[in-house]
Amino acid sequence: MALKQISLAFDEEPVVNEPEIKIETEPKVVAVALEKPAPDKIKAKGDNRKLTRGRVSLKEKESGADLIDIPEDAVLFEKKYYAIGIVANMFKVNQSLIRFWENEFDILKPRKNGKGDRLFRPEDIKNLKLIYHLLRERKYTLEGAKDFLKQNKRADEKFALIESLKKLKGFLNELKADL
Q: Evaluate if pTM is beyond 0.85.
A: no
CATH of 59-155, one of 3.40.50.12280, 1.10.1660.10, 2.60.40.1220, 1.20.120.790: 1.10.1660.10
Quick one: pLDDT at residue 178? 87
Quick one: pLDDT at residue 77? 85
Quick one: pLDDT at residue 97? 93
Quick one: pLDDT at residue 69? 76
Return the closest-CA partner of residue 103 out of 70, 67, 72, 142: 142
pLDDT tens, residue order, the chain (179 aa): 667 676 665 665 555 566 566 665 665 555 555 555 555 555 555 556 666 666 666 666 655 555 677 888 788 888 899 999 999 999 999 999 999 999 999 889 999 999 999 999 999 998 898 899 889 888 999 999 999 888 877 766 777 788 788 888 888 998 889 88
Distance CA 163, CA 157 (A): 10
DSSP secondary structure, 110-121, as one string:
-EE-TT--EEE-
Contact in structure between 68 and 92 (CB atoms under 8 Å): yes
Contact in structure between 84 and 117 (CB atoms under 8 Å): yes
Radius of gyration of the chain (CA): 33
Count of positions (residues) in the chain:
179
Return the closest-CA partner of residue 144 out of 158, 134, 133: 134
What HEC string does 94-106 produce? CHHHHHHHHHHCC
Quick one: pLDDT at residue 167? 84
Q: At what angle do helices 95-104 and 122-132 cross, to 10 degrees?
A: 90
Strands 15-17 and 5-7 come out as: antiparallel
Distance CA 108, CA 119 (A): 11
